[in-house]
Structure 1
Amino acid sequence: MPERSTSDTALWIASLIRTFPELCEELAPGRAAPLAPYVPAPHTPRDDELVRVERREALLLQQRHGLTAAGHGSAPIRLHVSDTIRDVTDGVVELEEAVCARLGIPRPRRAPVPERLRRLAGLLDEIEAQPVLARHVRDETRRMARRCARVLGDTEQVVRVSGRCPWCDSVSLRAFPDRRAVLCVNPACRCTAEDCGCHDDPAYRHLWPESEWATLAAESGCRTEELDSAMEGDPQ
C-alpha cells in the first residue's frame, strides 16, 4: 500500500525534525544557550577509517572518564544523549546518501540534520517507487525517531477511538494526537497488503493518517467528528 507507507515515513521524518533539536538542547543542561545542531565535517573516503578509530577512542574516553561541557564545569554532558545524537546524525547522513545513490541523484551537500530530513521528505514519491528502498527508509526513520523519543522521555498521549479495526475486527483503535494519526494497537493485527510492515515487523502497527480518516470512519463505525476531537486530546 504505497500511499500508507509514504504517510508512515513522512510522520517519522516529521517526528525526527521536531525532536532532534531538543536532543541538542538536552546534551548539556544548564547552558545559557542551546547547542547548535551537529553538522559532520567534510571527509573523503580515505578518511573513513580514521574517523571510525577516533570515534571509538572518544567513546572509550567518555565511558572511562566522562566529559563536561566546555566553559561550564557544573553541567556534565549526558553520554546517552551524546550517543543518540551521533547515532541519528550518522544514520541520517548515511540514509540520505544511500537514497541519492539509489535514485541516481548527485551526492547531497553537507547540511544540518533537520535540513537533510526535509530533503528526504521531498524525495518520498521517488523513494516509494522502489519498494525495497521505501521499506528501508521507513524502518530507519522509525528506528531513529523512537530512539530520540526514548532518550527525551516522551510519553505520547493516547486516546481510545470507538469502532472496530477494519483489519482485525478488534476494539483496538487509538488516536495519537502528536502524530495526528490513528493506529490499531492489537499486536496480532494483520492486513492483506503483502508489502505492509505488519507481516515482518512485530513492532509495526497499522496507521491511518488524517487523509484516510473518512475511509476509516466508514469501515470501522467511528465518526470523523470523534477523530477530530481525539486529536485535541479529548477522550470520548
Structure 2
Amino acid sequence: MTTDLATQHAARATLWIDVLRRQFPELLEELVPGRPSTATRPSAPRSPAARQARADRDRADRADILWNEQHGLSPIGGGAAPINLRVSDAIRDITDGVVELEEAVRDKLRLGRPPRAAVPDRLRRLTRLLDQVAQHPALAQHVLDESRRMARRCGAALGDAEALVRVTGRCPWCDSVSLRAFPAWRAVLCVNPGCRCTEQDCPCATNPGHRHSWAETAWARLAAVSGADAASIAALVNDAEAGDA
C-alpha cells in the first residue's frame, strides 16, 4: 500500500541514488589516478563467507601496508601509484551495499535475482523500480536510508564537507542560539562547545568533543521547549538534502 510518507521516501531516494551514480566513477578515479579500475566491471555475487574472507585478506593487506609506511619501506618497483586505502574501503563498502540493496529490493518485489552489472548500471535499475518500492513503506525507508548512507560515504571519500543548517530557537540546555541541523544524519545538534545537558545517557557532560543531539523523532519535543518549529526543521533538512543532490 502506498502512503504519502513512502512516496516521499522513494522520491528522496531518487535524489541520493542519482548523486551516488554520478559520483561513484569519480571515486574510482581517486583510487589510483590514471589506472583503470576493475570495479567498473560486473562481478559475480559473493556469499557471506566469501565476503568475510575477502574482508579478512583486505585487513591483513592494509596492516602490512601501514607497517611498511611506518618503517619507511616501499614496495618493490616503487614507480606504481599508491592506493588510497580510505577510497578503497569506500569503494568496497558501496559496491557491496549496492549489490545487497538491489537484491533486497528485487526479492521484496519478487523479481528474482538481478543479473550481474557494474555499480552505475545497478543504480539505474534501482531507480526504475522506485515506483514499485513506494508501494512498500518499510522498503522505501530502507532504500532511502541505504542510498543516503552510501552517497554520503562516497562524498566523504571525495572530500566533500557536510553542511550544518541553522535552526531557529534556543538550545533548551544552554539557552544559546546554537542549534544546527545536520542533514547527513537527520539530527539537530547544539554546537555550543560549553553546552552540557543533564541526561544520564548523553556523554556531552564528560566528553568535550560530544555535542548534544536530537534525532528526528525528538524534533517535536525539541520544538516545544526551544521555540523552534518541528515542521520548519524538517523542511530545512529536506531542502539541504535536495541542494546536496
- Under a length normalisation based on structure 1, what TM-score does the superposition of the two structures give? 0.62
The match for 2:9 among 2, 5, 9 is: 5
Alignment root-mean-square deviation, CA = 4.0
Q: Percent identity?
A: 41
Change (3 A) 1:53 1:44: closer
Q: Give yes or no for the alignment of 1:25 onto 2:43.
A: no
Determine the structure 1 residue equivalent to 2:44: 42
Task: Give the SS at the match of 1:73.
Answer: coil
Tell me how far apart the structure 2 counterparts of residues 44 and 23 of structure 1 sit (CA, whole Å): 22
Q: Is the 8 A contact 2:14 2:127 kept in 1?
A: yes
Deviation at 1:187, TM superposition (A): 6.0
Q: Is the 8 A contact 2:43 2:118 kept in 1?
A: no
Tell me how far apart the structure 2 counterparts of residues 83 and 130 of structure 1 sit (CA, whole Å): 31
Determine the structure 1 residue equivalent to 2:200: none
Q: Is the 8 A contact 1:27 1:81 kept in 2?
A: yes
Determine the structure 2 residue equivalent to 1:87: 93
Amino acid at match of 2:216: C
Deviation at 1:54, TM superposition (A): 3.0
Deviation at 1:159, TM superposition (A): 10
Give the count of matched residue pairs.
183
Amino acid at match of 2:114: P
Change (3 A) 1:142 1:44: closer
Deviation at 1:158, TM superposition (A): 9.1
Determine the structure 1 residue equivalent to 2:216: 198
Superposition pairs of residues 210-225 of structure 1, within 5 angstroms: none
Determine the structure 2 residue equivalent to 1:57: 57
Choose 1 or 2 for highest CA Rg: 2
Amino acid at match of 1:41: S
Q: Is the 8 A contact 2:133 2:140 kept in 1?
A: yes
Determine the structure 2 residue equivalent to 1:143: 149
Amino acid at match of 1:61: D
Tell me how far apart the structure 2 counterparts of residues 185 and 55 of structure 1 sit (CA, whole Å): 31
Deviation per CA, 1:23-73: give whole Å up to 9, x if none. 1000013x2x5435444532575xx41342133122211222259999873
Amino acid at match of 1:10: T
Tell me how far apart the structure 2 counterparts of residues 139 and 69 of structure 1 sit (CA, whole Å): 40
Amino acid at match of 2:12: D
Structure 1: runs of 5 or more not aligned: 165-171, 177-183, 189-196, 214-230, 232-236
Tell me how far apart the structure 2 counterparts of residues 101 and 23 of structure 1 sit (CA, whole Å): 29
Q: Give yes or no for the alignment of 1:14 onto 2:18.
A: yes
Tell me how far apart the structure 2 counterparts of residues 69 and 22 of structure 1 sit (CA, whole Å): 26
Tell me how far apart the structure 1 counterparts of residues 146 and 9 of structure 2 sit (CA, whole Å): 13
